[in-house]
Structure 1
Amino acid sequence: MVLSAVLAGCTASAPEPAPTADLGRQPVGVATNTGPFASGPVKAPADRVWVGAWVKPEVWGQDGRRDAVTEVEAKLDRTFDVINTYRTFDEKFWTETDKEYVKRGSVVMISWASGDTRSMVDGEHDDLIRAQARKVAKAKKPVMMRFRWEMDRPNLRATMWSPEDYIAAWKYTRRIFKEEGATNASWVWCPTEEGFDRGEAPAFYPGDDQVDWTCVDVYATSEYVPLDRLMGAFLEWAAKRPKPIIVGEFGVSRAWSPAQRAAWIRDAAGVIKANPQIRAVSYFDSDPDDRTTAMQFKISDDKAAFDAFRDLDDELSGVKRG
């Protein structure tokens, strides 16, 4: 699976040196709704924040995916609450590792790249959509369906066509899932923080009756900016919705020193706690191919940054270590 387009909405210019001083301020709390939320089959935790990740395998395939997650979880000394996984439109759902993760108690979040929205609504892909829906139904356990995440990216306009077309495809697909008995899926709507800064993302929202979790993807790339400032526009918008929030992807780039990355992650923990509507987060532990350091986010091989992530996990998940 190719992930080269996952972060296309982020800037990749060379970073400027930046101090860590502005990470010492009080994190901004905007999304302070504590529920209870209407979040579909995947019920938002009431007393903690789920912590998860996408971990890029060294070798693609089930064994590689398993090894990648297991290695990071061993360093974390516990299993992830949420495991993000990417699938192309026609790529198989409900693989061996999907089943393993759900069986042990983790929530699988399927980030599913859709097809052309107009051809979907025209019925050209019904057999494929129905087959995928039946796979999800067989899971029987609650799963997160992150349908065409980052739909607001400019480089997806050719297949999204318009916000109206995207919403039509969302509703069409969700209806088919219901018809095929895949009522165990919570539907996650996840644009980019840049889309909110541009004022474009809200137009893609299918509606409170169609969405179970709101979501955003957010990265500190070539600018060393705290998490709450990066996703401030999203938080203000999400606070008006009766939905829990999952930060579907977040990360701080290798452009910054290990100490700076660690400081950013520790600050992010405070941001998440100050916004209790955030009920889950998923780190993007990956260095996408053919990217500059400003667009690489792996921390599992950066001791200082990973130690900070471990502290974030402890703080948010309520884990008590000896």
Structure 2
Amino acid sequence: MNRRSALQTLGLGAAAGSLSMAGCLDRFTATPVVLGIYPGEDWGRIDPFERWLGRGFAVTTHYVDAAIPDDSRRQFVSEEMTTQWERGRVPMVTWQPFPRESTTGSVTRAIAAGSYDDLLSAWGEDLARWVSDGSGDRMFYFRPFPEMNGDWIPWGADATTIDDFVAAWRRLHGTVAETGLTDEQVQWVWNPNATEHGSHDTESYYPGDEYVDWIGIDGYNFGDSRDGSRWQSPESVFDPMFERLTDLAEKPLTLPEFGTTSYRDGRYRPAQKAAWIDDAFDYIERRGIRMACWFNIDKETDWAVFDGERGTDSYADGDSRTYDVYGTYRERATTDRYVTSEGDTPIPTDAFRGRLD
């Protein structure tokens, strides 16, 4: 479900951690997992978060309205992305094509028809310039049209047609490719929601293997925090879509957004949330997920594992302040299984591309 405002810009993460291999359990077996985060709207919290962990995040997520003014777009690319890259983190740019004021009809139909070509070209040029400004060794994930199988976004097929959606994706991909960016510099993440809404099968949104590098699944355990929801295990949240998408294409898998509430059976139960976190890491490892990014903000409910409304533990960050935290997250995320940031060194190219065998 939609958890975001129309425009949120975030950070990123990257770098090599020590890697270890576990037993063979699934198709993408027992590979290390790139650790990512959405730290919420307050970017000041990522530093104490990493101090609590004792290591840095490899990837952090940005949300950006594709149609923001030119100056805002350039600032996002040149300043926001650069700041995070220089901290050793790789940006994941979640590109949300909210319609421009002049748009009539569907935004995906307009993109497919070429009405947004100026916007697509501007994004491609700015992103390519950002990579080249770093001597060509910078890299980023590009996650356009997220959760396209939901009914809360204007780029889903219910607002137009599947053909328009696929054509819009391919047109954007082609425009960025024309800048000369390679798959060692940009990785494309096709990212449906764990549950589909509307009249179209999720698989029909797939633009084709040559246009996708990663498959992502966003999923949350809302527990009893809203009408009609119930407590779900990680398997219940992810398995139905996981099975379908692994049959669809052989691509590395990521959870670009995942989290859980603590609200169960009429009250908040942090211990139940801690147990779910533990189960989620078991699921990630068992299923061979190659990148996982926790959604660390209390929004519809208490998703955060650091500096949220509640926790199972507390962390005193020097003389500054004390944070509510979930120690289970740190225990699981800081094992040698997870690829994290080490200073200002980005993750290796193979890890960036999901080739962690």
Judge same fold: TM > 0.5, yes or no: yes
Counterpart in the other structure of 1:147: 144
Q: What is the deviation of 1:127?
A: 1.4
Counterpart in the other structure of 1:112: 95
The CA deviation string for residues 230-252 of structure 1, in whole angstroms up to 9 with x for no partner, is 11122212323221011010000
Q: Greater shift after overlay, 108-117 or 95-104?
A: 95-104
Q: What is the deviation of 1:89?
A: 1.3
1:90-169 alignment runs, 5 A limit: 90-91=67-68, 92=73, 93-114=76-97, 115=99, 116-140=107-131, 141-156=138-153, 160=157, 161-169=160-168
Q: Does 1:229 align with 2:226?
A: no
Q: What is the deviation of 1:53?
A: 0.8
More helix per residue: 1 or 2? 1
For 2:126 and 2:287, the matched residues in 1 are separated by 35
Find 2:279's aligned residue among 267, 284, 299.
267
| TM-score (norm. length: structure 1) | 0.77
The CA deviation string for residues 187-242 of structure 1, in whole angstroms up to 9 with x for no partner, is 10001111199972111111112110000000000322111221112221232322
Residue pair 1:196, 1:202 contacting (<8 A) in 2 also: no
Q: What is the deviation of 1:163?
A: 2.2
Counterpart in the other structure of 1:33: 28
The CA deviation string for residues 159-196 of structure 1, in whole angstroms up to 9 with x for no partner, is 64222211110000000001123332111000111119
Counterpart in the other structure of 2:348: none
User: Secondary structure, in 3 states, of the residue corresponding to 2:195?
Assistant: helix
Residue pair 2:150, 2:198 contacting (<8 A) in 1 also: no
Find 1:317's aligned residue among 333, 338, 342.
338
For 1:285 and 1:264, the matched residues in 2 are separated by 15
1:1-322 alignment runs, 5 A limit: 3-4=4-5, 32-34=27-29, 47-58=31-42, 65=43, 67-91=44-68, 92=73, 93-114=76-97, 115=99, 116-140=107-131, 141-156=138-153, 160=157, 161-183=160-182, 184-195=185-196, 200-222=201-223, 223-240=230-247, 241-255=249-263, 256-276=268-288, 278-288=289-299, 291=300, 293=301, 296-301=302-307, 302-304=310-312, 306-315=326-335, 316-317=337-338
1:262 to 1:247, Cα distance in 2 relative to 1, 3 A: same
For 1:308 and 1:314, the matched residues in 2 are separated by 10
For 1:252 and 1:300, the matched residues in 2 are separated by 13
The CA deviation string for residues 119-164 of structure 1, in whole angstroms up to 9 with x for no partner, is 1122222111111111211232121101010011113357642222
For 1:267 and 1:179, the matched residues in 2 are separated by 43
1:125 to 1:298, Cα distance in 2 relative to 1, 3 A: same
User: Secondary structure, in 3 states, of the residue corresponding to 2:149?
Assistant: coil
Residue identity (%): 27
| 1:144 maps to amino acid | Y
Q: What is the deviation of 1:55?
A: 1.2
User: Secondary structure, in 3 states, of the residue corresponding to 1:193?
Assistant: coil
1:138 to 1:68, Cα distance in 2 relative to 1, 3 A: farther
Residue pair 2:221, 2:233 contacting (<8 A) in 1 also: yes
| 1:282 maps to amino acid | C
1:191 to 1:31, Cα distance in 2 relative to 1, 3 A: farther
Runs of 4+ in 1 over 3 A off after TM superposition: 157-160, 196-199
Q: What is the deviation of 1:318?
A: 6.6
1:158 to 1:282, Cα distance in 2 relative to 1, 3 A: closer
Q: Which runs of 5+ in 1 are unaligned?
A: 7-28, 35-45, 59-64
Q: Which runs of 5+ in 2 are unaligned?
A: 8-23, 100-106, 132-137, 224-229, 313-324, 341-357
RMSD: 2.6
| TM-score (norm. length: structure 2) | 0.70
Residue pair 1:196, 1:233 contacting (<8 A) in 2 also: no
Q: What is the deviation of 1:308?
A: 1.2
User: Secondary structure, in 3 states, of the residue corresponding to 1:233?
Assistant: helix
| 1:252 maps to amino acid | T
For 1:199 and 1:123, the matched residues in 2 are separated by 24
- In the alignment of these two chains, the number of paired residues is 272
Residue pair 1:149, 1:191 contacting (<8 A) in 2 also: yes
